[in-house]
């Protein structure tokens, strides 16, 4: 009997130790009232060779300005939706990025811009596609979410509604930049050359000229609510009416307080085929992958294997920042209430 008691005591001690061990490995929770924001300014041919010192400084300065704008909202107790909107507005107003002022030209020589925004606390979301007179497309996406029962509005109908609600509308000349026009001419010239020589397969090699400078932001506020937003001009020389992943909830943009918020940039067709942003969230929620593993799985084992290229930023429910890309580089940065502030452009460190 005494021997049996000793065995039972040993077993209970073992179970208690195991429970203690498991508890010590539980995920670190977010600090009360902490907050953070992470942004990207597009992926693709973002290499040191393609950007001189002056250009690097210009991008770094604008990325920091965007981070500071979003951070200021969060620091004052503002909500994550307002924070990402503020950050994206800065990038949309800059000709450096392929969104808003710097949007690329389609095959007809016009801009067609897409954007989306999502509230991770209740899964409310809004998006616009194919608009070309709204100064800040992310504001249009927010208006769809807040003021209509719809999720996605496109083209002329979306612009009529934006005008009725008083969003700032601009003439198409506002979006003119010599840089983007030259990109269009270069791509169209190469495309025609390939067609003339019937070398259609080589067209894939032009992808570096079809820059994906999409911008995006994800934030978590002091209350722990996550929001994500994405805005883009699409791909240079895209077909008239083409819509990419940026306005598609779950593909180029997603937020859920249970897991994380994500904004993507890259060859949108592949992010749509894999429902990339939602797939990352699902891998975290249902498969138990950590964010780093989930991003790598989707970008390299799903999108990459299909031939797609790009990157994603992620902010999880604990306020931790992650990013990954299978392209040469990605303009990116984050700022957290614990004092961390990072801006990067090229290969992963």
Q: Tens of pLDDT along 30-53?
A: 888 999 999 999 998 888 888 899
Map tokens 């895209």 to a residue.
Answer: 238
Residue 310 in any domain: the answer is yes
In a domain, 2, yes or no: no
- Select which of 148, 173, 177, 214 is catalytic: 214
Residue 63 lies in a domain: yes
pLDDT score, position 15? 39
Q: What are residue 3's phi and psi, to 5 degrees?
A: -65, -40
Burial class (CB in 10 A: 0-12, 13-18, 19+), 20: exposed
Residue 238 confidence (pLDDT): 82
The pTM score is 0.86
Answer yes or no: is 325 within a domain.
Answer: yes
**Number of domains, the chain:** 1
Kindly tell me the burial class for residue 333, based on how many C-beta atoms sit within 10 Å of its own C-beta (0-12, 13-18, 19 or more).
buried
Domain assignment of residue 114, given as a range = 36-344
pLDDT band with cut points at 50, 70 and 90 for residue 320: very high
Q: What pLDDT score does 315 carry?
A: 98
Residue 214 domain-assigned (yes or no): yes
- Indicate the SS3 state at residue 87: helix
pLDDT tens by residue, 83-105: 999 999 999 999 999 999 999 98
Q: Which of 3-12, 19-28, 337-346 is predicted least confidently?
A: 19-28
**Residue 313 domain flag:** yes
Higher pLDDT, 25 or 330: 330
Residue 214 a catalytic site member: yes
Q: Percentage of the chain with pLDDT > 70?
A: 85
Domain with 103 in it: what CATH number?
A: 3.60.20.30
Instruction: Please give the average per-residue pLDDT across 158-167, as a whole number.
Output: 96
**CA 76 from chain center: how many Å?**
24
Percentage of the chain surpassing pLDDT 90? Answer: 71
Residues 160 and 166 sit within 8 Å (Cβ to Cβ): no
pLDDT category at 25 given cuts 50, 70, 90 is very low
pLDDT bin (cut points 50, 70, 90) of residue 236 is confident
């Amino acid at each position: 009997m005494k021997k049996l008691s000793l065995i039972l005591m040993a077993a209970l001690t073992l179970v208690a130790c195991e429970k203690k061990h498991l508890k010590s490995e539980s995920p670190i929770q977010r600090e009360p009232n902490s907050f953070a924001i992470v942004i990207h300014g597009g992926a693709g041919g973002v290499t040191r060779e393609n950007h001189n010192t002056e250009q690097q400084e210009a991008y770094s300065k604008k990325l920091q300005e965007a981070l500071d704008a979003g951070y200021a909202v969060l620091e004052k107790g503002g909500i994550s939706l307002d924070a990402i909107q503020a950050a994206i507005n800065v990038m949309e107003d800059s000709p450096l990025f392929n969104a808003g002022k710097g949007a690329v030209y389609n095959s007809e020589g016009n801009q067609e811009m897409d954007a989306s925004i999502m509230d991770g606390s209740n899964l409310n979301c809004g998006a616009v596609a194919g608009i070309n007179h709204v100064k800040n497309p992310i504001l249009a996406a927010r208006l769809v979410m807040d003021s209509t029962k719809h999720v996605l509005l496109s083209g002329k109908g979306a612009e009529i509604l934006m005008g009725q609600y008083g969003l700032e509308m601009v003439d198409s000349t506002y979006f003119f930049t010599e840089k983007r026009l030259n990109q269009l001419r270069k791509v169209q010239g190469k495309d025609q050359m390939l067609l003339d020589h019937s070398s259609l397969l080589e067209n894939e090699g032009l992808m570096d000229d079809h820059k994906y400078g999409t911008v995006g932001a994800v934030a978590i506020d002091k209350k722990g609510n996550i929001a994500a937003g994405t805005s883009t001009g699409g791909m240079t020389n895209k077909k008239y009416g083409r819509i990419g992943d940026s306005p598609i909830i779950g593909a180029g943009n997603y937020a859920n307080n249970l897991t994380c918020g994500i904004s993507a940039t890259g060859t949108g067709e592949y992010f749509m085929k894999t429902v990339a942003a939602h797939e990352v969230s699902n891998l975290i929620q249902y498969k138990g992958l950590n964010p780093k593993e989930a991003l790598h799985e989707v970008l390299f084992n799903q999108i990459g294997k299909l031939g797609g290229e790009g990157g994603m930023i992620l902010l999880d429910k604990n306020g931790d920042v992650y990013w990954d890309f299978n392209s040469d580089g990605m303009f990116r940065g984050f700022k957290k209430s614990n004092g961390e502030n990072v801006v990067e452009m090229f290969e992963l460190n």
